[in-house]
Amino acid sequence: MDRQDPKRGRLLPAPENFLGAPGQARRRALGNLIAGGAALLGARALHAAGAPADPAHLPPNVPPWSQVLGQPVGANPYGVPASYEKNIIRRLSPGLTTTKHSSVAFTPLQNLFGIITPNGLHFERNHNGRPDINPYEHRLMLHGLVRQPKIYTMEDLLRFPSVSRIHFVECGANTAMEWGNPAVPTVQYTHGMLSCSEWTGVPLSTLLDDAGFDRAKAKYILAEGADAASLTRTIPIEFALDDVLVAYGQNGEMLRPEQGYPVRLLVPGVQGISNVKWLRRLEVGDMPWNTREESLQYSDLMPDGSSRQYTWIQEAKSVITSPSGGQHLLDKGGYYEITGLAWSGRGRIKRVDVSTDGGRNWRTATLQEPVLSKALTRFRIDWTWNGDPALLQSRCIDETGYVQPKMRQLREVRGTHSIYHNNAIQTWAVDAEGKVHNVQV
């Protein structure tokens, strides 16, 4: 490999189209590297990174950017990513929904590290567009089975005792296309309605106490958004009294507009739609509301024709984000780090196993600390690809002992007409040329 004149073309982003899966340039670049050899580091078959140093190479030669003053400090009072990262963006649904006001923009999981999703890349799912809310005029009403109905301003909410916690949010329809044959090529589209942030807000239990809710009769809460959809969802009171937040902060700053600015519900471990954005009303009641979004939508059509309703919890699930669909491994015999994400709506991830032969043999991956309840957990495991076709899978187990199911197991119970709550094991096939494809086994 000529390092003096690097083959820049190999790293250029793919054309901006759906099958080209732009935004994978960086991670695919990992696979594109043709190694110069193999170095052993302890028991690890490490990629032979780093050519021997040559005096003709940089450094000690001085690159152009070392020879001129850079941009002044504070040139961006609010910073933005490097121009070279311009293809690392949310991408619109490839056709799941019909209008841009009721659509999805997916998080580029294949390009992300760690567990925190930067706010600019948090997935977006709206039902009637994203409202532009004036926080000075916004109000949150709390009424129903309470002693004293309340109307809170944002000032009020910011005055209450607060808590911060790192939690994932996953749309109930994440991985929906995979109920049928694999239809989308990349992890951004198979699993990208998934993000994780440090959320800050007021415990909902604090507000319920403030209004004096009826402890004997209260069984459910209705949450309503201020968007044009006036989206409504029922939340069991047990959740409300446990860890639900009325959240205004996301990764240190105020919520982003598409995440519910200025205030949203955060229902840890529960499907995205229950985390009602642009929250304007909370009603305490004694039975579920059976709203449009929990009857016509967001219910599961079962094999016997019945409808599974109120499926709140996102069960344990994992996915390998690299190598993943659309990437290309060129380094036969080379080291690859297999990495991905695991999460459970019921608590902490206990273990993640990884297979490279379609589930016949499993090895246990390393979990990145801290492993937090109802948060994404990053896993990693070493792999030396021998150049033969491989089937990559991850399988997680949460602290309740629940084991992530195979697609076949899920279909046996749920049939093939579901849209929601597909938490099956994902398979990525590496072909003999190193190209990675979305398959089902």
Stretch that binds a second copy, among 6-14, 235-243, 347-355, 384-392 (CB under 8 A): 6-14
| Opening angle at CA 334, ends 332 and 336, nearest 5 | 115
Q: What is the DSSP letter of 317?
A: E
- Distance between CA atoms of 320 and 186, rounded to whole angstroms? 11
Residues 301-330 that bind a second copy (CB under 8 A): none
Q: Is the dihedral of CA 111, 116, 120, 126 positive or negative?
A: positive
In angstroms, give the least distance from the CB of 382 to a second copy.
Answer: 6
φ, ψ for residue 408 (rounded to 5)?
A: -60, -45
User: At which residue do the structure tokens 């949010």 appear?
Assistant: 169
What dihedral angle (degrees, nearest 10) is formed by the CA atoms of 342, 348, 351, 352?
0
The count of residues interacting with a second copy (CB under 8 A) is 148
Footprint of a second copy on 141-200 (CB under 8 A):
141-143, 148-164, 166, 198-200
Q: Select 72 or 401, whichever has its Cβ closest to a second copy.
A: 72
Binders of a second copy among residues 405 to 434 (CB under 8 A) are none
With contact defined as beta carbons under 8 Å apart, do 223 and 294 qualify? Answer: no
Interface residue with a second copy among 2, 15, 37, 52 (CB under 8 A) is 52
x/- map, 120-149, a second copy, by CB under 8 A: xxx-xxx-xxxxxxxxxxxx-xxx----xx
Is position 43 an interface residue for a second copy (rule: CB under 8 A)? Answer: no
Query: Which of the ranges 254-262, 285-293, 309-317, 408-416 carries the binding residues for a second copy, by CB under 8 A?
Result: 254-262
Residue 346 CB coordination number (10 Å): 16
By CB under 8 A, is residue 257 in contact with a second copy?
Answer: yes
355 DSSP β-pair partners:
393
Task: Choose between 22 and 405: whose C-beta lies nearer to a second copy.
Answer: 22
Q: What letter represents residue 124's amino acid?
A: E
Q: Which residues contact 210 (CB under 8 A, 6 or more apart)?
A: 142, 150, 160
Nearer to a second copy, 153 or 440 (CB): 153
CB 269 to a second copy: min, Å: 17
Q: Which of 110, 176, 188, 227 binds a second copy (CB under 8 A)?
A: 227
CB nearer to a second copy: give 147 or 360. 147
Which tokens sit at 341?
């994400």
